[in-house]
A and B are shown apart, each in its own frame.
Chain A
Amino acid sequence: MEGVSYARMPRVKIRELKDDYAKFELRDTDASIANALRRVMIAEVPTIAIDLVEIEVNSSVLNDEFIAHRLGLIPLTSERAMSMRFSRDCDACDGDGQCEFCSVEFHLRVKCMTDQTLDVSSKDLYSSDHSVVPVDFSDPSNHESSDNRGIIIVKLRRGQELRLRAIARKGIGKDHAKWSPAATVTFMYEPEIHINEDLMETLTLEEKREWVDSSPTRVFEIDPVTQQCSLLNYGFGYALFSAFIGNAIVNSVHNSKLLSLSSSRIISRTNSKEWCLTFIVMVVDAEAYTYDDEVLKKAEAMGKPGLVEIIARQDSFIFTVESTGAIKASQLVLNAIEILKQKLDAVRLSEDTVEADDQFGELGAHMRGG
């Protein structure tokens, strides 16, 4: 495979991983692959959702199809989805798509007996398969939060009743958004920020602060840095400085005297060692940069156009994946890769028919660019 020899293989590094949220870096690959992954995560990873609703009794204020629509949107835990068959492909049932291999049955039976309004929620849906249940959003560690009532489907008054049977099937986001397992999937180019130190030196502290504050997200910060390294020289005693920007509060231990305070430099002398502090601008969180050019425009407005250079690295992406709870975020990414492989496999193995150009005439000529 010639392609593989000079294509670098992608690398992955995970930043954050929770049950429904994952943030990871994908490097050494192209935007088309990253986008393909994103599109598959949103639209083509299969999940299970309610698809067919048989209503026996409904005396609530919402009409039948309204409730059926709401039931479809409830996320169900879909670990089984990858191994299930689509209802249309199932040969075990008689074609009505309601057998145990391709579907999961739910039932809901609620009647309001009290004078208080009864909330019918996703917790009242009972499943025939204990591995496919409505997603429970409660935080297990947070016991004092208000009782987690699940997703409210409808509210009932005294005497109103709702009784129904629902069939959940496997599907993909392309068919209907209820089957999409992803809440949001985003990726951004990793920014590379280079600060021109020499040009930065020519700014006063106030100008630096103004420039740092012009960015809507906190990308840069001003930090005091000691330029002499004899801070740790115990033989001469040492002074510990911690300067707060703007206030310039100096705490010092051992003998030291504050000699003068000029706009951005604090000079102090202790035991014949001279120290000097300057404030430098550092990148504190490069990824908070949202590719708005506010800092560049501010630098130009201040008359220092080359102050900072920001490049978007074309082969490095930071993915943020949030799942609805139907599938774990890490499992979502793995399923997406699996689905992409299956698509490629299907193409590779398909027996294509070769249409000779004489059959198409004009169409053939057009396709060939003639």
Chain B
Amino acid sequence: MEHGSYSDPSKSTFSFGDEDHTFANSVRFSLNQDAIYADEALSLLLSYSPRVSFCGYSIPHPSDNRVNIRVQTTGDPAREVLNDACQDLMLMCQHVRSTFDKAVSDFKKGKTRKGNKDMNVD
């Protein structure tokens, strides 16, 4: 559920039911990757085009299963920026998954190779 204003789509609060710190903190981190920094040196980078001026989350009451995420952007609709942040996070999850798969197979290969080496020594 998005609480915003029809006239200014760049600032709104998103209220999620059935969510908690697990989801909100990681989305906040992902939004922060896109945020404005006060660092002037960074602002000279060509790739620096931040869209988020403020992002944060709060849990109104610990007994209610609800989390509010506040997003304020530099002009783009807040909903789009949030969607893109979720998309980035999904890509990162996919990357972690494939990296983990590869690490597991590397580990297993390393183990069998080591086992064979021991057999040769014997």
Interface size on B, residues (CB 8 A): 55
A-contacting residues, B1-27, CB 8 Å: 1-6, 11-14, 16, 19-23, 25-27
Specify the chain A residue showing the minimal Cβ separation from B20.
Answer: A39
Stretch in A3-11, A90-98, A226-234 with 4+ CB within 8 Å of B? A3-11
Tell whether, in the assembled complex, residue A354 and residue B97 are in contact, meaning their CB atoms are under 8 Å apart.
no
Whether the Cβ atoms of B88 and A17 lie closer than 8 Å is no
Residues of chain A within 8 A of B99, CB atoms compared: 9-12
Contact residues of A between 305 and 356, Cβ < 8 Å to B:
330, 333-334, 337-338, 340-341, 343-345, 347-348, 352-356
Set of chain A residues within 8 Å of B14, measured between Cβ atoms: 352
- The secondary structure that dominates the B interface is helix
Q: Does A360 reach chain B (CB closer than 8 Å)?
A: yes
For B14, the closest partner residue in chain A by CB is: A352
With A2-B34, A344-B89 as known contacts, state yes or no: A9 contacts B95, CB within 8 Å: yes
Who on chain A is nearest to B28 by CB? Answer: A32
| Contact assessment for A355 and B22 in the assembled complex, using a CB-CB cutoff below 8 Å | no
With an 8 A cutoff between CB atoms, is A40 at the interface? yes
B34 touches A3 (CB 8 A): yes
Assembly CA distance A352 to B79 (angstroms): 9
Residue A14 interfacial (CB < 8 Å): yes
- Determine if A36 and B23 form an interchain contact, defined as CB atoms under 8 angstroms apart: yes
Range class of the A interface residue count = 35 or more
Bound-state CA distance A347–B87 (Å) is 10
Q: Could you tell me if B2 and A354 are in contact, using CB atoms closer than 8 angstroms? A: yes
Residue from B21, B30, B47 having most chain A Cβ neighbours under 10 A: B30
Chain B residue at minimum C-beta to C-beta distance from A17: B107
Give the shortest distance, in Å, between A19 (CB) and chain B (any CB). 12
Q: Is B101 an interface residue (CB 8 A)?
A: yes
Q: Are A355 and B86 also in contact (CB < 8 A) when A10-B92, A11-B99, A33-B26 are?
A: no
Which residues of the other chain, B, contact A341 by a CB distance below 8 angstroms? 90, 93-94, 97
Tell me whether A44 is interfacial, beta carbon within 8 Å. Answer: yes
Residues of B within 8 A of A363 (CB): 3
Complex interface bits, A270-290 against B, C-beta within 8 A gives 1, otherwise 0: 000000000000000000000
B26 touches A345 (CB 8 A): no
A339 to B16, CA, bound (A): 17
Q: Which of A17, A32, A356 contacts B6 (CB 8 A)?
A: A356
A356 vs B12: C-alpha distance when bound (angstroms)? 10
Q: B22 touching A337 by the CB < 8 A rule?
A: no
* B residues near A44, Cβ cutoff 8 Å: 22
Contacts of A30 in B (CB 8 A): 29
Tell me which residues across on chain A come within 8 A of B34, comparing CB atoms. Answer: 2-3
Q: What 17 new A-B contacts, CB under 8 Å, besides A7-B88, A340-B93, A344-B93?
A: A3-B85, A4-B91, A6-B33, A6-B47, A12-B96, A17-B104, A32-B25, A36-B22, A39-B21, A40-B22, A44-B22, A333-B100, A347-B86, A352-B1, A352-B2, A355-B4, A357-B3
List 21 A-B residue pairs with CB atoms under 8 Å apart, sorted by A's residue number: A1-B91, A10-B96, A11-B99, A13-B103, A17-B107, A26-B96, A32-B25, A33-B29, A36-B22, A36-B25, A36-B26, A39-B20, A39-B21, A343-B19, A344-B23, A347-B23, A353-B2, A354-B2, A354-B12, A360-B3, A364-B5
Which 10 residue pairs across A and B have the least CB separation, nearest first? A3-B33, A32-B25, A32-B29, A39-B22, A14-B107, A36-B26, A3-B88, A12-B99, A348-B86, A337-B97
